[in-house]
Amino acid sequence: MQPTTDIMDSSLGFTHIVVGAGSAGCILAARIAENPGFNVLLVEAGPDGSELNATHGARDIRRVPMKGQSEVYDERIDWNVRVELPGGEFMHVAQAKLVGGGSSINGGTALRNTIKDCEEWERLGNDAWGWSAVEDVYMALEKRESNATSGVHPLVRTKAEEAGRIQQAFLAGAAECGLPWIADLNATAAEGSGASPVCRDGHRRISAANTFIDPLREKANFHILTHTPVDRVLFSGTRATGVLLANHRQILASNEVVLSAGAVFSPALLQRSGIGPVSLLSSLSIPVLQDLPIGANLADHPCVPVVARPKPGAYVDGDFSLQMQARWSSTACPGAIDLQMVCFSYLYAHAITSLPQQPIASAHAPRSLGGSMAGHVAGIGCNVNKPTSFGNVNIQSRDPNQQPLIVPNYLSTAADRDCARQAVRLANKIVLSDSMQAVLSPPLGLTPQIIASDRLLDDWMLSQYSSTYHFTSSCRMASRERGGVVNQSGCVYGVQGLRVADASVIPTIPAANTMWPTMMFAERIGRSVRDARPVGSEQKIDARL
């Protein structure tokens, strides 16, 4: 790997620039650099993990070192984006800002999307993304404990008897309430409760940077540039030729620019580059290169937390915060696996405070995955995994240092509220089970009267919901007539030499935590770039690679 100070040297002759070193960008850079004829530059706005003090927790997966989830977190590695809510309210949502992206600071959950997700993707014009092809990619990625020769990225499932007391109580309560133990939540059509498959080695989080970037660091055709925000993509006519950095310096690429900045920042990069809705670009005096629905169809999994206080001795410092969960289908969508519960033993949000002469405008502003509750709570996060509420992400100016406007429209449809009510009522029942009441207090703020009334429960959910940080689909992969932004290989319509390959291209939000599907998309598109073959024309992927 060339030293950072040498990267501006034009003699390096980059063939590919990958913008964003998150869960997707790490895989993309690694796969493209496997072609010895290519010279790859990976550009990241945040720091490299090697620069961080390990005491900040980014390497220890027992807790999730994000603001609103942990008492200790590192503001240097979080974009902390502002998300607009109805009535002028807002909340801040963690979005990783470092090499490895979300995989470097999240819970590490590696759930596959479902067969029904693939069927949706195919209906949008993506016939190369059916289940059989997608399953092959997961098999190639997953390094399973039971098979030493499999995959590349480790997946570990905690044994029930080795879990913390709160996690064990959740499993018992879930079984009592109709969600029996499932050995593998990634098994096709699996519904029930079980251990989350997690990317870890003991207590150590294994990120995309660990698996895919660390082995590349001494390769002559791989280069990484950190602490370097990108303003926009440069074009000659309709061909992408490189990137303009936020510090006004240019870096050129002879073959392609690949955006992997995530479902919030990839749309912003495209819009500043003149690719996006005409109405938005014209309002900001940005010359229109292509009129595409960039920033539309933004999706996220809304989470409604059912929280309680741990009883003395129920939680021991050093317990894993996340170990067990459940997946199942709502009454309206049998087989969709559109609902999810995640048991958490440790979640910490600071109490609401106000600055001098700045009274608190809204009790909802500092929401976390614990809703409006502060301090150490435990309980169940209830996720609506196939929401029908969609939003938008749009730049507010041409300034690359100004974050885009994010409006997700959580729980804005009757179908989403109905799904959320089902999940919350079941979670409340599980928390009140004998097993969980041995370790937790009754649910905080959730009374029998609220549970019994759809109207009261809707009001309560709308006051408590948060984000799961799972933004997707803002640069949708679909046929152009179906509102697509990119084709099945991630190529942006109407221009040349430009791809997007991150969570933003996932056609519809998967019924699963989004890190693993995002890495699956990146793996497949990365191989397409490396081999100069469209996605869908590749041979069966060898799981040992």
Q: Give residue-wise pLDDT tens across range 2-33.
A: 444 456 555 579 999 999 999 999 999 999 99
- The tokens 């251990």 sit on which residue? 195
DSSP code per residue over 407-426: E--TT-SHHHHHHHHHHHHH
Same domain as 373, residue 263: no
Q: How far apart are CA 8 and CA 225, in angstroms?
A: 10
Q: How confident is the model at residue 38, as a pLDDT?
A: 98
Q: In which domain, by residue range, is 36 found?
A: 1-51+95-155+202-299+392-403+470-538
Same domain as 313, residue 378: yes
Same domain as 422, residue 366: yes
Q: Give residue-wise pLDDT tens across range 116-163.
A: 999 999 999 999 999 999 999 999 999 977 666 678 999 999 999 999
Do the domain assignments include residue 545?
no
Same domain as 381, residue 256: no
Do the domain assignments include residue 107?
yes
3-state secondary structure of 259: strand
Contacts of 377 (CB under 8 A, 6+ apart): 305, 307, 308, 309, 310, 347, 348, 349, 370, 444
Q: What's this model's pTM, rounded to 2 decimal places?
A: 0.93
Same domain as 317, residue 181: yes
Task: Identify the CA nearest to 266 among candidates 278, 255, 257.
Answer: 257
Do the domain assignments include residue 88?
no
Same domain as 530, residue 491: yes
Same domain as 237, residue 274: yes
Same domain as 178, residue 149: no
CATH code, domain with 171: 3.30.410.40
Q: How confident is the model at residue 377, as a pLDDT?
A: 86
Question: Is 230 annotated as belonging to a binding site?
Answer: yes
Task: Identify the CA nearest to 39 among candidates 279, 318, 297, 253.
Answer: 253
Total count of domains within the chain = 2
CATH code, domain with 224: 3.50.50.60
Q: How confident is the model at residue 356, as a pLDDT?
A: 40
Same domain as 165, residue 264: no
Using left for φ > 0, alpha for ψ between -120 and 50, and beta otherwise, residue 527 falls in alpha
pLDDT band at residue 360 under the 50/70/90 scheme: very low
Same domain as 143, residue 18: yes
Do the domain assignments include residue 130?
yes
Do the domain assignments include residue 11?
yes
Same domain as 274, residue 148: yes
Q: How far apart are CA 425 and CA 189, in angstroms?
A: 23
Domain boundary among 464, 485, 506: 464
Do the domain assignments include residue 85?
no
Same domain as 102, residue 132: yes
Q: How confident is the model at residue 132, as a pLDDT?
A: 95
